[in-house]
Amino acid sequence: MIDDLLDPPRVGTETITQLPSIMSPSTVPVSKTYSIASIPADGIGPEVVNASIDVLRSLSETLGTFELEFKHYDWSTATYKKTGKYIPDGGLEELKKHDAIFFGAVGAPDVPDHISLWGLRLAICQPFQQYANVRPTKIFRGTQSPLRNCKTGQLDWVIVRENSEGEYAGQGGRSHRGHPWETATEVAIFSRHAVERIMRFAFETADKRPRKLLTVVTKSNAQRNGMVLWDEVAAEVAKDFPQVTQDKMLVDAMTCRMVLNPESLDTIVATNLHADILSDLAAALAGSIGIAPTSNLDPTRTFPSMFEPIHGSAFDITGKGISNPVATLWSSAEMLAWLGEQDASDKLLSSVERVCEAGVVTADLGGTARTVDVANAVIEDIRKSYGTKSK
């Protein structure tokens, strides 16, 4: 989905596969090696990340066109409770050395969520200017939407979420704690710079998709400053993309449209808070939040981008071996596309969908498979579909 949105990636290092000397240099296959930072973190994060790494390694070995080198970072709530920090001193400088970041989930019952989120995930997204949060959603073959009349292909969206400001900018504070007049403010920040860059990214995304349709989500009837700026910038940027059909929805009406008329939507752009909520609704409408991926992108490619499942740490099922790895596998496919390995990305997602269609799904999708069962089934499909004997 996120392939060729912007300039081709310049990541990874090229290595020449060792082959007999009778081959001419022009026929020697080139294999790129990508350095990936792995941060499984909390809850089911390690389960789904480790399962996905097994699948990615199998894909790499089977295709033979690229290699992935993973470096594990043990940054989690357990680390925070031991050291007082989620990310150690110098940690972000270490992450900059990698081509991409593969993230699990952060959050634990015994640490307030605002501490864990700002201590790890947002502590990476914000300084690394991962301002474009991309969340594709579709109904996989073999899965079923709770919308009784919605079929595969009728719900196929990309939600582009502004990922750097809005209500999540971190502006505000609390005063007079403990008094009846205690006051808390959460200031929503909307700058022309940030709104314009996400709008351009969203229009470019819509332009790459067959329908060339973009829905701009807002709440400018009630939020008359930041959201009006959002609308105005969207209208200005739209002039540069006459080939893209744009419409506008208030966020509350948008929830109704997603449920009642899903086939009318394609690419959606919304603020940090609105898209956060709408993308969870989208995942549920597609069948389960356990299949929904996320890409946190720096479109300038100055910093590595980060790829993660939407579902969070899910401590209620941690350690049971029943977490759905599909969201993380789809995030893996998005990561490969961002790195420039579009063919591998397509093959991985096709294997995942064939496994779902065969009925190898976890309980959230109505099945009985365990995490490892799904991962092993995908590995088997990769080897069967793309191995030497299948060619």
Q: Is the pLDDT of residue 190 over 60?
A: yes
* Mean of pLDDT values over 358-382: 96
Do 44 and 85 fall within a single domain?
A: yes
* Mean of pLDDT values over 76-99: 97
Do strands 30-41 and 13-16 pair parallel, antiparallel, or not at all (unpaired)? antiparallel
* Mean of pLDDT values over 293-313: 96
- Write down how long the chain is: 391
Do 125 and 151 fall within a single domain?
A: no
Share the mean pLDDT of the chain: 91
Q: Is the pLDDT of residue 149 over 90?
A: no
* Mean of pLDDT values over 56-60: 97
% pLDDT > 70, the chain: 91
Please give the single-letter amino acid code of residue 147. Answer: L
What's 61-122 look like in SS3? Answer: HHHCCEEEEEEECCCCHHHHHHHCCCCCCCHHHHHCCCCEEEEEECCECCECHHHHHHHHHH
Q: Please identify, among 231, 254, 286, the residue that sits at the C-terminal boundary of a domain.
A: 286
Burial of 178 (0-12, 13-18, 19+ CB in 10 A): exposed
d(CA 313, CA 356): 23
Number of domains, the chain:
2
pLDDT at 11: 46
Do 58 and 87 fall within a single domain?
A: yes
Q: Is the pLDDT of residue 21 over 70?
A: no
Q: Please identify, among 286, 321, 348, the residue that sits at the C-terminal boundary of a domain.
A: 286
Q: Is residue 297 part of a domain?
A: no
* Mean of pLDDT values over 38-56: 97
| Position 23 confidence tier, pLDDT thresholds 50, 70, 90 | very low
Q: What CATH number has the domain bearing residue 270?
A: 3.40.718.10
pTM given for the model: 0.88
Q: How far is CA 338 from CA 26, 220, 226, 298, 371, in A?
A: 26, 33, 31, 11, 25
pLDDT at 251: 97
Domain limits for position 273 = 145-171+185-286
* Mean of pLDDT values over 365-383: 97
pLDDT 10s digits, 93-146: 999 999 999 999 999 999 999 999 999 999 999 999 999 999 999 999 888 899
Do 330 and 372 fall within a single domain?
A: yes
* Mean of pLDDT values over 342-364: 96
pLDDT 10s digits, 6-18: 444 444 544 333 3
Do 161 and 218 fall within a single domain?
A: yes
Q: Please identify, among 222, 252, 286, the residue that sits at the C-terminal boundary of a domain.
A: 286
Q: Is the pLDDT of residue 391 over 60?
A: no
pLDDT at 328: 97
| Position 389 confidence tier, pLDDT thresholds 50, 70, 90 | low
R_g of the chain, CA atoms, integer Å: 21
Do 124 and 3 fall within a single domain?
A: yes
Do 251 and 370 fall within a single domain?
A: no
Helix (H/G/I), strand (E/B), else coil: 149: coil
Q: Is the pLDDT of residue 86 over 50?
A: yes
